[in-house]
Structure 1
């Protein structure tokens, strides 16, 4: 009887041990499953953080110090070598060579031909006016009391010639002035034509203007579509002022001679550029 009880106890202990081992194995298996589930979750979180960091980097800010690899004073060939510009110029007005950014519109040949004609007329009339202004009109003189009719006729002819020369000179100067006005209109028309796409202008001495495309923004978030109020809030303390052409301008920090220009219409910014007006096209 005692032996039977001992056997039963032994069997019971054996079953308990088996159950404990099975339970431990099951727990270990569950722990591995939980770990496997947690690992992808952690990986997903890390990927999300990386994506957020990439998204917050944002596009390049428009700045006078440089944009899309183009920098103040850069030579035309060096600018084209960056690959940021289309290779064919869109304007040659007044001695500067203008290009649009990659993907911008093709050159408007009709507008370029009109620019060339306007510039040729301006140069021709300006040269004639300069030459005419250097000629002193012949004085009519004063006839003596005993002058003959022939002397009087000669004096009258001289006075008429002098008056004609003066009138011709005055007309040339007036025509040259009108031609200059036409040049200014042509320049403004060019600016408007590339207000949305942006452009880059090179003088013989290097890059003198970066006109921003419509989607560009400064580091402060200013660009096409910004309100004048936002513009003033961003740059009012940095020397922003309204110039005689109706544009808001301010000096470009760290770039001597360069300034930012903001074109506005209807209370909003319609275009912006960084330019050095001291650099002449020709």
Structure 2
């Protein structure tokens, strides 16, 4: 009987110990802090350690970018984010050819415009010879004006080619993102597809959501065909804007860009 009582006591004691340990473990689990990864915000404060306006050498030193340029259009230099696409040599060669044609057309147009000149008015009581000379000068000027118009048309065509080359580049990095540098440092921060603004919008968001969230923050359809709105805070005064590329009623890509910052 004494043995039976001892066995029961041991069982009860063990059960109490288990219950006590269980409660302690549960309490410890409740007390332990839970950590949830907060996605980085894409905004005026920068992205992946890159700040708006940052100098190129400083940006490259962060390790956030690949070191070989992926585009050199219009005097700007573009880099892919770390792990992004390698430079496409065929596209780079095509960009260089387009850029050269534009530069030549621009130089020709400027020269032709200067060559048009002016024809001085006739003096009072002009002679017949003076009238004839002025008529000849006017005829020559008309020919120069025709040449200037031709060079202007060629410049317009070259500008369209340059615009198309930029669109091809932008499309190539629409998913992976890219960073562009001009004379005054970082002038465009094109977001990778996973990036989100503070309000949670980005690639894949609907145009309706874009208008609903940013309609009262200056969102409008810009001349580039993209939806634009000012960046937050002081960056807006410096010329920084969000640009959203919309395709099929959905955001295909977004960037922060300062169009007033020159490439070269």
Instruction: Please indicate the TM-score interval, normalised by the length of the shorter structure.
Output: 0.7 to 0.9
Q: Aligned to 2:59, what secondary structure does the other structure show?
A: helix
Q: Which has the larger radius of gyration?
A: 1
* Residue matched to 2:42: 62
Question: Is there any run of 5+ residues in structure 1 with no aligned partner, and where?
Answer: 1-14
Question: Is there any run of 5+ residues in structure 2 with no aligned partner, and where?
Answer: none
* Residue matched to 1:127: 107
In 1: Cα distance, 2:244 partner to 2:263 partner: 21
RMSD (Å), alpha carbons: 2.8
* Residue matched to 1:202: 181
Q: Aligned to 2:189, what secondary structure does the other structure show?
A: strand
TM-score normalised by structure 1 residue count = 0.80
* Residue matched to 1:27: 12
Which of 244, 249, 253 is the aligned partner of 1:262? 244
Deviation at 1:67, TM superposition (A): 0.3
In 2: Cα distance, 1:271 partner to 1:123 partner: 30
* Residue matched to 1:166: 145
Contact 1:98 1:199 in 2 (8 A): yes
Deviations 1:102-124 (A, max 9, x none): 11111111111111121122122
In 1: Cα distance, 2:259 partner to 2:105 partner: 25
What does residue range 222-261 of structure 1 map to in structure 2 within 5 Å? 222-254=201-233, 255=235, 256=237, 257-261=239-243
TM-score normalised by structure 2 residue count = 0.85
In 1: Cα distance, 2:186 partner to 2:58 partner: 10
How many residues align structurally?
258
Deviation at 1:91, TM superposition (A): 0.5
Deviation at 1:157, TM superposition (A): 6.1
Select between 166-175 and 31-40 the one with higher mean Cα deviation: 31-40
* Residue matched to 1:36: 21
Deviations 1:130-181 (A, max 9, x none): 1221231557989x99969xx96x7776555333322212211221222222
